[in-house]
Structures are given as structure tokens and as C-alpha cells.
Amino acid sequence: MTEELTSFLQEIKYDIEERLPKHLEQLRAPLVLKDAMIYSLNAGGKRIRPALLLATIKSFEKPIRSGLDMACAIEMIHTYSLIHDDLPAMDDDDLRRGKPTNHKVFGEAMAILAGDALLTYSFELVATMNEKEITATQKLLLIQELAKAAGPEGMVGGQVADIEGENQALTLEELVYIHQHKTGELLAMSIVAGAIIAGATTDDIRNLRLFAKELGLMFQIKDDILDVEGDTETIGKPSGSDDGNNKSTYPNLLGLNGAKKKLDEHMLRAKEYLYNVNMNHELLLTLTTYVAERDH
């Protein structure tokens, strides 16, 4: 990772982590609910979605500030999905990033409600963003993209397909469907949202959406590879834990080298789409390389 990217990601992480709880602290809502929402929002993570959104805005040479609330909204939706995924009825996880999961601390009922509240509030946040340079039509488009990426045709649909595919041998096509929907859509949406906020042309948005789709798949393939190669300390969960759940993964389907080849293919296509966009490519190129080469 270049020094420039490192400092960009650190800066973003700092800005977002400072801003996220502030939105919730001012709510007139039961304290325990706000605590449960903030607990999981504050649980850290790479903040990759905010980084993608803000990197896109920066690449169009627009002020990052204009995307901070949208980045918070996306991070809230990502966080709600983690809270619900960890529930006993779903993945039944006790730990997330080394900390007890939401339902372990606040109980199952509160975890369900904290997730519901984060999801709902994220739409209020986008609808009320105090950014004069973003028009009502742009905000509506952002809400539409966010709901589509997170809802039945996006993330929730992918989660359902993932559950349905558990303990089954999946085809590569089925595996791609799950990843594109469960994680890919929201990652891609982060980039598309950046382009919308930056006022990009329809053509540029189309190419960035295709770029983002490739990047999302790269992200998942790399996760699967790290899960085979990585050690527990670096990636924060027991190595091979997906294997234990009998889940289909890229290395399982294609072999480790096959998965790495697939990753390279997606990176090649990602870069092709990116070069079609009328923007400064450097930051997103570096990010693309980082996704493929990161060690956690």
C-alpha cells in the first residue's frame, strides 16, 4: 500500500468514526437502544465502504465533505447487516472483530431492534443531508440506489441465497450470485453514490458501476483466499472458519491457484472499466491493487 493511500484511509476512518456516533447521540430515543446501535457502529472495521465513496468523490476532484453523511448512512446499513447476521437464528456468532457480538451484550431482542433502527435511520440521514450542493433529485437517486443495494434484490437477497446454499455444494455461478448480492452490491453502491454526489455523467456512472462490481468480487475472492492462507491473529477470526461451516468458497471450487487466477482476471477487467471514466484514476487504482494484495 502506498503511503498516500495509507494516510487517506486513516484520515477517512478517523472522520467517519468521529461522525458516526454523533448522528445517534442526538436522537431522542431510549438510551439502551442508542447504546446498542453505537456499540456496533464503534466496533471498528476497515470502513472500506466510506473509503470507496470518498475516494470516488476525491477522484472527481470534489470536496470529500459532501459525501460524509452518505458514507455514515452506508456504514450504518453495513453495521445493521452484521448485527442481524450474527444472531443465533443466523450465523450464531459470539465474537465480531474480537468483541462480543451485539446480542451477546444487549440480548437478542435489542440486537434485532438496534439493527432495524440503524437501517431505518440511515434513510432519514440521506433524506435530510445538509449539503446544499446536492439536489433533491440526487438525494432521491441515492436513496433508491441504497435501498436497491441493501434490499431483497441486493444484500438481503444474497443473505437468503447464502443461507439456502449452506451445507450444499454450489456451482461457481451460485457462489458469484451470493457474493455479488451479499457484499458486492453495497460495495458497488458506495462507489456509485460517490459518483452521483460528484455529479458524474451517466456514462461515467455506468462504467464505475461495472468497475465496482469487479472490485466487489475481487474483495470476496481475496477474503476466501485469506481465509485459507491467513492466520487468526491477522484477520481476526479463526482461519478456515468458513470451511468449518461447510461453505462453498472460491479456493474450494477452483483450488487456491485457480482462485488467485480468478482474482487477477477480475482486477484486469476492473482496471479496464476504470480507465473509461473521466476522472483522476490514481487513488481508485491504488485501492484496487490494495484489495488484491492486502494481507488481512
Residues near a copy of itself (CB under 8 A): 24, 27-30, 32-34, 37, 80, 84, 87, 89-90, 107-110, 112-113, 115-117, 119-121, 123-124, 127-128, 135-137, 139-141, 143-144, 146-148, 150-153, 156-157, 159-161, 163-164
Cα–Cα nearest to 262, from 272, 276, 251, 271: 251
Q: Give the integer Cα–Cα distance in Å for 4 and 247.
A: 37
Q: Report d(CA 7, CA 73) in Å as an integer.
A: 23
Strand, helix or coil at 20? helix
Shortest Å distance, C-beta 101 to a copy of itself: 14
Q: Which is nearer to a copy of itself, 71 or 267 (CB)?
A: 71
- Name which of 112 and 256 has its Cβ closer to a copy of itself: 112
Q: Least separation, in Å, of the C-beta of 72 and a copy of itself? A: 14
Residues 6+ apart with CB under 8 A from 4: 283, 286
Q: Cβ 31 to a copy of itself, closest distance in Å? A: 9
Residues 176, 250 contacting (CB under 8 angstroms): no
Q: Which is nearer to a copy of itself, 57 or 129 (CB)?
A: 129
Phi/psi class of residue 40: alpha, beta or left (left: φ > 0; alpha: ψ in -120 to 50)? alpha
Residue 136 or 257: which CB sits closer to a copy of itself?
136
Distance in Å, CB of 140 to a copy of itself, minimum: 5
> Would you say 78 or 222 has its CB closer to a copy of itself?
78
Q: How far apart are CA 56 and CA 194, in angstroms?
A: 5
CB of 289 to a copy of itself, least distance (A): 32
Provide the 8-state DSSP code for 295.
Answer: -
Kind plus residue range of the DSSP H or E element containing 96: strand 95-96
